Amino acid sequence: MNLTTWQPTEDGAKELLKFLMVVYGQKFTDQWRGVTLGEMKAVWSMALAGYSTEEVQRGLKACMSRVWPPTLPEFLLLCRPPVDHEAAFIEAVKQMRQRDNGTDTWSAPAIYWAAVEFGSWELRQASWDRAKARWTRILDEQLAKGELPPVPPRMEALPAPGRATANPEKVRELIEGLRQRMAMPKGAA
């Protein structure tokens, strides 16, 4: 059984069900007594349409620590556990602080993009009680998008006006190079 390339089809559902039968044995088959394999494949493949391979693998991994086999609704929750909005908010506050020095590590792109939309300054100032409604709405909107771009690497900020320094010799070289490319006489500019 190769579930690393699982697809939400009847064949994929068949492989998934076979895996669960092997893991749970009689407990699994007893749970579905009176239901044909064809009926199970059809319903499970329909219910899992739109789930990614990674999500199904998350569900299967969670099954390995369960004594009893999951029902279909339980399995769907194992694949897509409910979001803990408060924990995601706490992560966003912490990671945005760590982003200042480039040591941020995000558990999910949706939390990063929600933090960006919420605003770094606002995250640092708001308490959970004050931020709850807005944060929940923004994070749910990001999660609803499905595939999100990965978290981009931190970009260095430009120095404040008047704080930048330039090497005068390097500036002269660059200007001379521009003049040569534009074929301008030395005195013009």
Residue 64 tokens, joined: 């390995």
Segment 22-66, tens digit of pLDDT:
889 999 888 888 988 888 888 888 888 888 888 888 888 899 999
CATH of segment(s) 10-79: 1.10.8
Contacts of 46-53 with CB under 8 Å at 24 or more apart are: 47/72, 47/76, 48/8, 48/12, 48/13, 48/16, 48/76, 48/79, 49/8, 50/8, 51/8, 51/76, 51/79, 51/80, 53/3, 53/4, 53/5, 53/6, 53/7
Mean pLDDT in the chain?
87
pLDDT at 157: 75
What value does the mean pLDDT take over residues 102-113?
92
Listed by start position, the domains of the chain span: 10-79, 85-144
Question: What's the Rg (C-alpha) of the chain?
Answer: 27
